[in-house]
A and B are shown apart, each in its own frame.
Chain A
Amino acid sequence: NAGVTQTPKFQVLKTGQSMTLQCAQDMNHEYMSWYRQDPGMGLRLIHYSVGAGITDQGEVPNGYNVSRSTTEDFPLRLLSAAPSQTSVYFCASKLDRGFHQPQHFGDGTRLSIL
Chain B
Amino acid sequence: AQSVAQPEDQVNVAEGNPLTVKCTYSVSGNPYLFWYVQYPNRGLQFLLKYITGDNLVKGSYGFEAEFNKSQTSFHLKKPSALVSDSALYFCAVRDSGAGSYQLTFGKGTKLSVIP
Interface residues of A (CB under 8 A from B): 4, 31, 35, 40-45, 48, 50, 56, 58-59, 90, 92, 97, 99-100, 102-108
> Which of B36, B46, B101, B107 has a CB less than 8 Å from the CB of A40?
B107
Interface residues of B (CB under 8 A from A): 9, 32, 34, 36, 41-46, 49, 51, 90, 94, 96, 101-103, 105-108
B46, A99: Cβ atoms closer than 8 Å:
no
> Which of A99, A102, A103, A104 has a CB less than 8 Å from the CB of B96?
A99
Residue of B nearest to A43 (CB): B105
> Which of A43, A44, A106 has a CB less than 8 Å from the CB of B90?
A43
B51, A100: Cβ atoms closer than 8 Å:
yes
> Which chain A positions have C-beta within 8 A of B108?
42
Would A105 and B32 be within 8 Å (CB), given that A45-B103, A97-B101 are in contact?
no
Would A105 and B44 be within 8 Å (CB), given that A43-B90, A45-B102 are in contact?
yes
Greatest chain A CB density within 10 A among B32, B44, B94, B105 is at: B44
